[in-house]
Amino acid sequence: MSKPATITGRIEAEALRLLDRNPDGLQWADLNTRLAAADPSWHPKTINGCVWKLVEKYPDQVYKPAKGLFRLAKYR
């Protein structure tokens, strides 16, 4: 798989990978922390914006079963 060209694309791809490795989902703060650790060059506000738009941008893949919890739809 080729690496997405944009920073937001890379953040989103990593977020989807993290969610795939965590079938019970991840809380917003934990997902942000893990993304920041994945690449320290990513700005915290960019990470935050990408995380909050995951459900909007990938409605067929990501959903929020509870406040602040992100989970892949395949693990419903």
Query: Where residue 3 falls among pLDDT bands split at 50, 70, 90?
Result: low
Whether the per-residue pLDDT at 6 is higher than 80: the answer is yes
Task: Concatenate the DSSP letters of all residues of 14-75 into one string.
Answer: HHHHHHHT-TT-EEHHHHHHHHHHH-TTS-HHHHHHHHHTHHHH-TTTEEEEETTEEEEGGG
| pLDDT per residue as tens digits for the range 24-65 | 999 999 999 999 999 999 999 999 999 999 999 999 999 999
Strands 62-66 and 26-27: unpaired
For residues 75 and 5, what is the distance between their CA atoms, to the nearest angstrom? 28
